[in-house]
Amino acid sequence: MSSRQRDPDPVDDRLVALALPAVLGMALGLAVGGQLDSLAVGIALGIALAAGFGWLRLWLADLPQ
């Protein structure tokens, strides 16, 4: 194993910050689509929610303290 550590990359930080909102958005969208018996609605809603949650997460992170 190498003892050298990687320098933090801002792109990696943003991807990690967006991973949870994307998973939550898709899960919620697919759950609602399943309740409506429409996979197409679930996928569309999941994509929209994932994008919205990701935007909200990044917007909140950029607010001044």
pTM reported for the whole predicted model: 0.72
Count CA within 13 A, CB hemisphere, residue 40: 0
Q: What is the pLDDT of residues 22-44, one digit of tens each?
A: 999 999 999 999 999 999 999 99
The tokens for 5 are 């550590």
Tell me which DSSP letter residue 9 carries. -
Q: Which residues contact 26 (CB under 8 A, 6 or more apart)?
A: 46, 47, 49, 50
> Are residues 1 and 21 in contact, defined by beta-carbon separation less than 8 angstroms?
no
The answer to whether residue 46 scores a pLDDT higher than 90 is yes
